[in-house]
Structure 1
Amino acid sequence: MKAASSALFLEFSLLCEKLSSTSSNSEKVRLLASYLRNLESEDLGIAVDFLLGRASRVRSSEGRANVAFATVRDALCQVVTFSDDQLLQLYKEHGDLGEVAMELLSSGHAAPLVRGQLTLKRIRDGMDDIASAQGSGSEKRKVMTLTGLLLDSSPLEAKYLIKILTSDMRIGVSEGFIAEAAAEAFSVGKEAVRKAYLLVNDMSKVAVMAKEGRLSDAGFSLFTPIRPMLAEPASSARQIIDDMGRCYVEDKYDGIRLQVHKKGGEVRLYSRAMDDVTRFFPEIVEQISRLNEDFALDGELIYEAGGRLRFFSLQKLLRNEGRREKHPLKFVAFDALYAKGRSLLDLPLVERKRELFALGYDNCAPFKEVSAPEDLERAFKDSIARGNEGIVAKDPESTYQPGARGKRWFKLKKALDTLDVVVIGAQYGNGKRKGLLSDYVFAVRRSRDDPTLVPIGKAYSGLTDEELRDYHDFFMRNKIGEKGNTVWVLPRLVIEVGFQSIQRSARYESGYALRFPRIISVRADKKLDEIDDLQRVEDLFKAQG
């Protein structure tokens, strides 16, 4: 049996290489189970984190090492010689910094006289050191730490070191694969692992619980956010009534999905991505603190200006941590997850609504019961008139299913089709936007199982000049290289784009192009693995007739 925390990083890297090269789901599970069952608990937790792209456990890092492209470039410069043009060309060929690092180190790099051994624990310690570096000299500290790891890395280890560092694994492994592999590795039920994950919301902890026979300990607890239940898109009010019949209908707000947890005098706020965003919204904390009960609520954070809800204004608050002046913000609650000392997840919505309104919170989302398409259509039009996105219709008997999207909740939005995409490049504008990165090149995933990014269009409208200046600075910090008028960047900014139609096009690798694309919103609450894929594009293309 291995000593605790002695698992070699090379073994982990070899596993990742095998996982990325197989398209068989069953083979992925077999490979994962075979590897995970031989790890001690600490290594097991680290390995699962790394497989899912969680680099660090430093609380403020939210799983990310928070490094700019320049940090990776400067560290690589310490161990191998290359030009900026060579780096850009390699990135354009691979679209993956890890692959770039492997190719650069394969050409020969400055190895130390005595090469240290890389273990999972050493890599995690390095990631934590990088994630915690702040203030004067922090960039130098990050580069030194990364350089030390790269000097002891083989080309293959360097590949996965950088992929973990940038939270960009893209090896076709999700929480679902890990759950199935943990069940096989430790001879426990798949459903028991899945249920524990929905409640604990941390697959590395769940894997350790499965190994140690503690899955029965899993339960909903305050200050452990869960994945929000999602609504299925609907094409019409008739479809919703046909599928669900009687339903509760409420406005779909144009804001930020938020979970609010309160226990005693402590209040924590969590985003859709389950990041702790409490520090950004002290006024919401103050509002919630006035209530007496302990609870967890699901809802939407909205900003109201001139009667219209402005998502961009909220996003700006998220990008400015230090701001504390008052803003016209409010949290609208539409579901109760925990109250009176117990989880409410298994209760039907009708009972959860009852518990929600019993808390005495002033900003509970109003709702009404409807059973006819014309009533649902009227509710939709009324919501649009109030400046909202549309409506959400919910089955009164639906239990709360974390992370699930199905026919228990439906959303009906404005007629404009939209896609969630990621920005991969930006071009300089003209006229008053000269010298400003204002035209965004964006991409979708090739498929749900293939995270390769394929370009599908370019948008240059929808953002204000002030917003463009903010994102110009963001892109320059995440710049990979520059060629002609285009700055190529790391895929870190998810945006929602609207468009008039989709057409086939040989101009983009996706085979499609959006006609008259326009940026609807910047989705700081969404991660790279949540963007749309080519199947969604093809479905919308066919639906055009």
Structure 2
Amino acid sequence: MERKFMIQQAKDNSFLAFSQTCEMVKSTTSKNMKIKIVSEYLRKLDDGNLKVACDLFSGQIFPPWEGIELQVGYSTILDILKEVSGLNEKTLVEIIIKNGDLGDAAEEILAKKTIRPLLEEEYDLVQVYARLKKVAEASGKGSVNEKKKILTGLYLNMTPLETKYLTKILTGEMRIGLVSGLIIESIAEAFNRRFEEVNESFLLINNVGETAILAKYGKLSEAKLVLLRPTNFMLAESMQSAEEIVDYFRKELICEFKLDGVRVQCHKKVDTIKIFSRKGNEVSTQFPEIVEDLLQIGHDFIFDGEVLAFKNGKPLPFSKLQTRLQRKYVDEKVVNEVPLMLFVYDILFFDGEPLYKMPLIERKKIIEKIGFTGRIKCLEYFLVSKREEIERKFFESLELGYEGLMLKDPSAPYTVGKRGKYWIKLKKELDTLDAVIVAA
């Protein structure tokens, strides 16, 4: 029998309504029911609370590229729970062990709280977000107490159910069975948009809350690349042999050596450079010499490429790059010990113009005209169409210290955030030999 859910005694934009919605989503295993619950909830929210709700559903308070972190540990949360509940530490620990989840434990612990604020407040999502941002911004001497003071105020005013989901948000452990795809489907259902249309916009702007606002007002087509903010990377599929690749495409392909480094997205706007990782985190400080050389390029751009440890014209083992990535601070000594090279192999944006819909071969021509210097190179590519050509290039790549080949459709657009057969990986499996064991 289908279970009916009702959000009671909670204003639409309130954190309580959000918490009740999370609880309902968690209580059903039905994908369609999850979408129904979330879409009906999203439809009732105003713009500000809609954006925050979608971001929190995705388990992300702040976008990774902003570099904002709460820096609130378990011990801080435990101290707050102890203070607000009035329970002793032994009882707290027993409840936490019994529940196995700090959020679930918080709900049980604060069902017994004895301390109440003089004037109780009810928070909407925007207000909770604003307080969490203040927590993240608190730094320096006295910051721990400042963070604790702000969070204690929230815990004191919230119902036990709200504290459960506040705790889950703080610990990054929502675990309500609402994956990214279901949130996108819920947004599409809430505002009567096609899933494909909503998903395309989300993959491009890389923010589910902003995508929801565009969907609400029928402006998904206005989603666009934004300089200094990462978009999703195009992804490749694997094939096992040159023959399989030739049979699938049956046309001339772009062939590149497959690099064994760190894939990055490089943005330049006027005199500002930002380098982002696959996860959307800014990693510019790890590559100061690359930033320095990117600044010499007299254009605004978004590049897709790979950073390698590189010396004397050859790539160094990935382990060398790893030793550098593990360093908290990169000084001149580190730069000299592990020299780097950025190989650019795609371009998404150039001097005000988005290029990701343009055929790859045309994007390559734009890259070739830029004229890189220093520690930045345009990744060399070859045109191949026969099995023998691909196999020859494959073994050449291994001899030079690379890990195989990338074969790319020259007519393909840059499909942001999608894995598909426009790009194919051919890795070291081809290097194995078939052998027959004969007993004599």
Structure 2-normalised TM-score? Answer: 0.83
* 1:277 to 1:413, Cα distance in 2 relative to 1, 3 A: same
How far, CA to CA, are the matches of 1:224 and 1:25 in structure 2?
32
- 2:403 paired residue among 389, 401, 419: 389
* 1:60 to 1:339, Cα distance in 2 relative to 1, 3 A: closer
Report the AA paired with residue 113 of structure 2.
H
DSSP 3-state at the match of 1:151? helix
1:239 aligns with 2:239: no
Who is 2:434 aligned against? none
Residue pair 1:55, 1:65 contacting (<8 A) in 2 also? no
Report the AA paired with residue 71 of structure 2.
N
Greater mean deviation of Cα atoms: 352-361 or 73-82: 73-82
Who is 1:55 aligned against? 61
1:309 aligns with 2:309: no
Q: 1:99 Cα deviation (Å)?
A: 2.7
Q: 1:343 Cα deviation (Å)?
A: 1.1
- 2:387 paired residue among 366, 370, 373: 373
* 1:135 to 1:18, Cα distance in 2 relative to 1, 3 A: same
- 2:227 paired residue among 212, 222, 230: 222
DSSP 3-state at the match of 1:335? strand
How far, CA to CA, are the matches of 2:344 and 2:105 in structure 1?
46
- 2:19 paired residue among 13, 25, 45: 13
Residue pair 2:117, 2:157 contacting (<8 A) in 1 also? no
DSSP 3-state at the match of 1:387? coil
How far, CA to CA, are the matches of 1:103 and 1:390 in structure 2?
55
Who is 1:201 aligned against? 206
Q: 1:401 Cα deviation (Å)?
A: 0.7
Report the AA paired with residue 35 of structure 2.
V
* 1:340 to 1:128, Cα distance in 2 relative to 1, 3 A: closer
Q: Aligned residues: percent identity? A: 37
Who is 1:338 aligned against? 349
Who is 1:248 aligned against? 254
How far, CA to CA, are the matches of 2:390 and 2:90 in structure 1?
57
Who is 2:29 aligned against? 23
Who is 2:137 aligned against? 132
How far, CA to CA, are the matches of 1:292 and 1:157 in structure 2?
51
Residue pair 2:82, 2:89 contacting (<8 A) in 1 also? no
Residue pair 1:263, 1:295 contacting (<8 A) in 2 also? yes
How far, CA to CA, are the matches of 1:113 and 1:100 in structure 2?
22
Q: 1:334 Cα deviation (Å)?
A: 0.8
Residue pair 1:255, 1:309 contacting (<8 A) in 2 also? no
How far, CA to CA, are the matches of 1:188 and 1:130 in structure 2?
36
- 2:72 paired residue among 67, 70, 94: 67
* 1:6 to 1:22, Cα distance in 2 relative to 1, 3 A: closer
Q: 1:305 Cα deviation (Å)?
A: 5.9
Provide the alpha-carbon RMSD of the alignment. Answer: 2.9
1:60-459 paired onto structure 2 within 5 Å: 60-62=66-68, 64-80=69-85, 81=87, 83=89, 87=93, 90=96, 94=100, 96-106=101-111, 108-114=112-118, 115-245=120-250, 246-304=252-310, 307-311=314-318, 314-315=321-322, 317-318=324-325, 320=327, 322-325=329-332, 326-327=335-336, 328-362=339-373, 363-415=377-429
Report the AA paired with residue 60 of structure 2.
R
Residue pair 2:71, 2:136 contacting (<8 A) in 1 also? yes
In structure 2, runs of 5+ residues without a counterpart are 1-10, 431-440
* 1:140 to 1:233, Cα distance in 2 relative to 1, 3 A: farther
Q: 1:344 Cα deviation (Å)?
A: 1.2
How far, CA to CA, are the matches of 1:70 and 1:312 in structure 2?
35
How far, CA to CA, are the matches of 2:403 and 2:196 in structure 1?
36
In structure 1, runs of 5+ residues without a counterpart are 417-545
Report the AA paired with residue 13 of structure 2.
A
How far, CA to CA, are the matches of 2:64 and 2:429 in structure 1?
43
Residue pair 1:6, 1:120 contacting (<8 A) in 2 also? no
Residue pair 2:65, 2:280 contacting (<8 A) in 1 also? no
Q: 1:316 Cα deviation (Å)?
A: 5.5
Q: 1:353 Cα deviation (Å)?
A: 1.1
- Larger Rg belongs to: 2
Who is 2:47 aligned against? 41
Q: 1:319 Cα deviation (Å)?
A: 5.4
* 1:60 to 1:201, Cα distance in 2 relative to 1, 3 A: closer
Report how many residues are paired.
409
Q: 1:116 Cα deviation (Å)?
A: 2.8
* 1:313 to 1:16, Cα distance in 2 relative to 1, 3 A: farther
Q: 1:15 Cα deviation (Å)?
A: 0.8
Cα deviations by residue, 1:163-189 (Å, 9 ceiling, x for unpaired): 212222222323432333223322334
Residue pair 1:230, 1:403 contacting (<8 A) in 2 also? yes
Cα deviations by residue, 1:113-164 (Å, 9 ceiling, x for unpaired): 4443232123212211221122222222223322222222333212211221
Structure 1-normalised TM-score? Answer: 0.68
Q: 1:219 Cα deviation (Å)?
A: 1.8
How far, CA to CA, are the matches of 2:106 and 2:39 in structure 1?
28
How far, CA to CA, are the matches of 1:38 and 1:190 in structure 2?
20
How far, CA to CA, are the matches of 1:130 and 1:319 in structure 2?
27
Q: 1:237 Cα deviation (Å)?
A: 3.2
